[in-house]
Amino acid sequence: MGDQRLLRRFKKGDPDAVRELYHDHGRAIFTVAYGALGDRSLAEEAVQLTFTKAWQAADRFDTEREIAPWLYAIARRAAVDLYRRERRHETSDLDTDMAVLPPSFEGMWEAWMVRSALDQLPDDERKVVEATHFLQLTMAETAAELGIPLGTVKSRSSRAYRRLAEILGYLREATA
């Protein structure tokens, strides 16, 4: 019901609705596009294209469904279109097989779900996950980096990964 109202406002061009949709899904769209295309500028273009296409298709959206898989499908299509456009620029061979996508296009849904799960973490917990997993800092280094006690880093880390395990539980069930 909330999604239905949000999409109606989005279709009318309500800037707050566009921002809300961007806050909920923009990062995930960027993540999958960046992962697939490997280029920041193209990934941002894919985000813009995704929202434009979503706006054009909003009337046809089945409100019984969830927004995320619908937006994901549009985002993937946008990334594929941009990939093929860039390939056309790079090659003069019109017979190049455009149907074959590189391995970077695999696992996009999983990347979307993980990014969305990370976005659902409270800021303080996400920062700890980012520091320990992405920046590869130790717990002590993370404490120094974030200016918080070591015990706080440990408890936030513990809560964050437990939350991630719960949020991503159904993804594992779906693929088990």
Partner 1 sequence: MNCTDFQAEFLAGRMTRAADAHLAGCSNCRSSLTELRSIRSVIEDPSTWEQPSQGLESRVVSDIGALTTTKPAAAKLWPAVVAIAASLILIAATVAFVIQARPDWTLALEATDVEPTAAATVDGWNTETGTRMRLEVSGLPALASDTYYEIWLTSPDGRHVSAGTFTGSGQVDATIAVRRSEFPRVWITVETNDDDESLSGETVLDTPQ
Q: Which residues sit at the interface with partner 1, rule CB under 8 A?
A: 10, 12-13, 15, 18-19, 22, 26-27, 30-31, 34-35, 38, 40-45, 47-49, 51-53, 55-56, 85, 88-89, 92, 94, 107, 110-111, 114-115, 118, 129-130, 132-134, 157-158, 161-162, 164-166, 168-169, 171-172, 175-176
Nearer to partner 1, 4 or 91 (CB): 91
* Shortest CB 8 distance to partner 1, Å: 13
Q: Cβ 44 to partner 1, closest distance in Å?
A: 5
Of residues 101 and 114, the one with the C-beta less far from partner 1:
114
Kindly state the smallest distance separating residue 62's Cβ from partner 1, in Å: 21
DSSP alpha helix (H) spans, the chain: 2-11, 15-37, 40-57, 67-90, 108-120, 123-129, 139-146, 150-167, 169-175
* C-alpha dihedral (170, 171, 174, 176), degrees to nearest 10: -100
Cβ proximity to partner 1, 27 vs 148, nearer residue: 27
- The smaller minimum CB distance to partner 1, of residues 49 and 67, is found at 49
Burial level of 104, CB count in 10 A (0-12/13-18/19+)?
middle
Smallest distance, partner 1 to C-beta of residue 144, A: 19
Residue 6 · residue 65 · CB < 8 Å: no
Residue pair 117/145 in contact (Cβ under 8 Å)? The answer is no
Residues 6+ apart with CB under 8 A from 62: none
